[in-house]
Amino acid sequence: MSPDLVVERPEGLYCPPGDFYIDPWRPVDRAVITHAHADHARTGHGHYLASAIGAGVLRARLGAIDLQTLDYGQAIVHHGVRLSLHPAGHVLGSAQVRLEHDGRVWVVSGDYFVSGAGDGNATCAPFEPVRCHCFITESTFGLPIYRWRPQRELFADIDAWWRANAAAGRPSLLMGYSFGKAQRVLAGVDASIGPIVVHGAVEPINRAYREAGVALPPTRLVSEVDDKADFRSALVVAPPSVAGSVWARRFADASDAFASGWMQLRGARRRQGVDRGFVLSDHADWPGLMQAIAATGCERVIVTHGYEAVLVRWLQQQGLQASSFKTEYGDDALDAATDAVEPSPP
């Protein structure tokens, strides 16, 4: 039996024949980065390899790094391992890492978005199923209660909420992570309803998206809004860290909402303490996980961050060889922290 192409190490997921890491959480010499979220892309590595289209956001987040890029589908060979990156549909530049060595193919999917409702992510290339022997999958929403509604219904809800608030003269403060979620919201809403104002943590990411050719509606920073009366009909997009902050106080009578897959549950919505919870996720739902795994044609699955134990047991019952890796992914707090330290406008 050929040795595993990816193993767990204290530093992160490691490819022994290629001698490199994938999304390591401790500093290493060579790191392949699936996408620029803080729990996957960390500072301090010697050399970075990532998708070309995601280079802008990666640099926006990590600053000056030694970065080599690949177009989706373009392959390089390193120590006999043939490596290529394939769209994961999660955020701009997100990639699955395909590794081929000695006739064996493994795919590390990072975070990916596949919805049972058949939707894609309008802000990046759609998830591409890649045939492989072993598929390493996330399990953030690895329970059958997570089933995303069709996106058009969801955005119709967001638009209706915004429209009703605008009619009542109150701002609509929609909170979601500044990288990925915010742009998804911007690309999905009906921008004709009113002006769109974004937090200072969101705009640099918007810029990177626009530079990569992603169409987003016009957005303004608070400091760029001359007539404060514009707030009354505005959609304000900001990271969750603004809740209860001085920054948010200027929209004091706003209706607030939170966009996240976690909003699927009543309990989570009520704990969040906002007026509305919109179920919008950049991760695969349960049917999406099942579809993605089936589409790889794999015989073996390794499950990371989320409901690992549940998904492993379920896949085993479906006749697959399944196990899990313990990783340090899936920590939203990291992204929340990134959002918080980024400069906010006066």
Identify which of 167, 208, 301, 128 has the alpha carbon closest to the alpha carbon of residue 159.
Answer: 167
Q: Which residues, numbered 144-203, are part of the site for other proteins (CB under 8 A)?
A: 144-147
Closest distance of CB 146 from other proteins, Å:
8
Closest distance of CB 153 from other proteins, Å:
10
Q: Which residues, numbered 283-342, are part of the site for other proteins (CB under 8 A)?
A: 307, 310, 313-314, 317
Number of residues near other proteins (by CB under 8 A):
22
- The CA distance from 107 to 41, in Å, is 18
The answer to whether 231 contacts other proteins (rule: CB under 8 A) is no
The answer to whether 271 contacts other proteins (rule: CB under 8 A) is yes
Q: Which of residues 157 and 230 has its CB atom nearest to other proteins in the complex? A: 157
Contact between residue 175 and residue 206 where contact means Cβ atoms under 8 Å apart: no
The answer to whether 267 contacts other proteins (rule: CB under 8 A) is yes
**Range in contact with other proteins (rule: CB under 8 A) among 92-100, 168-176, 190-198, 264-272:** 264-272
Q: Which one of 67, 212, 265, 336 is in contact with other proteins (CB under 8 A)? A: 265
CA distances from 28 to 10, 23, 24 (A): 11, 10, 7
Q: Which of residues 26 and 271 has its CB atom nearest to other proteins in the complex? A: 271
Closest distance of CB 145 from other proteins, Å:
4
Contact between residue 236 and residue 174 where contact means Cβ atoms under 8 Å apart: yes
CA distances from 307 to 173, 289, 310, 323, 330 (A): 31, 12, 6, 12, 11
Please name the helix (run of DSSP H) or strand (run of DSSP E) that holds residue 301, with its range, or none.
strand 300-306
How big, in percent rounded to 5, are the helix, strand and coil portions of the chain? 30, 25, 45
Q: Which of residues 7 and 164 has its CB atom nearest to other proteins in the complex? A: 164
Rounded to the nearest angstrom, the gap between the alpha carbon of residue 200 and the centroid of all alpha carbons in its chain is 19
Identify which of 292, 259, 249 has the alpha carbon closest to the alpha carbon of residue 111.
Answer: 292
Q: Which one of 40, 269, 283, 305 is in contact with other proteins (CB under 8 A)? A: 269
The answer to whether 243 contacts other proteins (rule: CB under 8 A) is no
Closest distance of CB 70 from other proteins, Å:
38
CA distances from 66 to 30, 31, 45, 254, 261 (A): 10, 10, 9, 43, 34
Q: Which of residues 231 and 314 has its CB atom nearest to other proteins in the complex? A: 314
Closest distance of CB 253 from other proteins, Å:
12
Q: Which residues, numbered 125-154, are part of the site for other proteins (CB under 8 A)?
A: 143-147
Q: Which one of 275, 328, 331, 332 is in contact with other proteins (CB under 8 A)? A: 275
| Amino acid present at 167 | A
Interface residue list for other proteins (CB under 8 A): 143-147, 264-271, 273, 275-277, 307, 310, 313-314, 317
